[in-house]
Amino acid sequence: MEYKDYYEILGVGRNATKKEIKQAYRRLARQYHPDVNKSPGAEERFKEINEAHQVLSDPEKRRKYDQLGDSWYRWQQQGVPGGFDWSQWTTGFPGERRVRVEYGDLSDLFGQGGLGGFSDFFESIFRGMGGPRTRQRMRTRGQDYEQSVEITLEEALRGSTRVLQRDGQQLEVKIPSGVKTGSRVRMAGQGGRGIRGGPRGDLYLKVKVLPHPDFERKEDDLYRDVDVDLYTAVLAGEVRVPTLDGGVMLKIPSETSGGRVFRLRGKGMPKLRSPQQRGDLYVTVRIQIPRNLSAREKDLFSELVRLR
């Protein structure tokens, strides 16, 4: 019988935590799930991954497996003639009194007609550890799916909806206000079908907020330029600033130079988890030089130069 290195199958160390084992299992199971991976050998690989997780996620099975592994590696290093003695491992723990108890067929975990049974290694070492006369079935959760969706900055401000086609049905998805590029909207139970009656996976919409011609977004704050004529910049006045909520009037103090930044509180984007709170809008002044000056206007500017 061939020894199976379950740690190597999941790609984790022998001191891996339960959380690390679960993360490795979920990552590999998604990669090799028969619903999404049709390449040759993927089904067998998926079965190995499930088998490794079945052992390493169960404290009792893992303890027995670690004891077996220690003996196996010592036997390999010592080079003792003859094959490895499997007899003390094939029923119960080393040193335990061997009592034959009938258990359900653990190969039914995946079903002979579906993903195939456990390996001979698993059957020989771990058969019956789940409890007497129990028929174990593994309900495997379905694959999570991801789909990209593009929205405008205005839709990110107010929230939006999208209608998707899924298994012949129309699904209306609500996209909350405040989402950013990279945000994921979860649709529970709309992913791949589970195995053995397991729950369906989830569908995630990965949001991309399209660039805006006037506004730049940085987290929850917005940035834009506003044109201010020379006379207002010098003498003071007001200019209308377009925002995503409509125009607001901004007071420009006298002697305002180009590049000066004004902050409009609460005129930015809503915060994703607290939409009643909003970021700010930062407005950069861009001085507009007057054109098509009359002769009188040019004379006045010349006089200003002489007065300096």
What pLDDT, on the 0 to 100 scale, is given for residue 97? 36
43 and 154 part of one domain: no
* Higher pLDDT, residue 297 or 268: 268
Residue 56 sits in a domain whose CATH number is 1.10.287.110
106 and 149 part of one domain: no
14 and 118 part of one domain: yes
**Nearest alpha-carbon partner for 174 in 184, 185, 166, 188:** 185
* Higher pLDDT, residue 158 or 2: 158
132 part of a folded domain: no
159 part of a folded domain: yes
pLDDT 10s digits, 139-179: 778 888 888 899 999 999 999 998 887 777 788 889 999 99
Q: How far apart (Å, rounded) are the C-alpha atoms in residues 296 and 306?
A: 15
Three-state SS at 181: coil
134 part of a folded domain: no
What pLDDT, on the 0 to 100 scale, is given for residue 1? 66
Q: How far apart (Å, rounded) are the C-alpha atoms in residues 286 and 108?
A: 73
- Residue 67 contacts residue 94 (beta carbons within 8 Å): yes
70 and 178 part of one domain: no
Residue type, 27: R
Q: How far apart (Å, rounded) are the C-alpha atoms in residues 225 and 32?
A: 50
* Higher pLDDT, residue 33 or 210: 210
58 and 92 part of one domain: yes
Q: How far apart (Å, rounded) are the C-alpha atoms in residues 16 and 69?
A: 15
Confidence of residue 247 (pLDDT cuts 50, 70, 90): very high
Q: How far apart (Å, rounded) are the C-alpha atoms in residues 145 and 205?
A: 9
Q: What's the domain range around 119? A: 6-126
pLDDT 10s digits, 30-89: 888 877 788 888 888 888 898 899 899 989 889 888 888 888 777 777 755 556 777 667
**What value does the mean pLDDT take over residues 266-283?**
93
What pLDDT, on the 0 to 100 scale, is given for residue 180? 93
Q: How far apart (Å, rounded) are the C-alpha atoms in residues 92 and 99?
A: 9
Q: How far apart (Å, rounded) are the C-alpha atoms in residues 47 and 35?
A: 13
Count structural domains, the chain.
3
pLDDT 10s digits, 92-130: 444 443 323 222 332 333 333 334 457 778 877 776 565
- On the question of pLDDT at 28 being above 70, the answer is yes
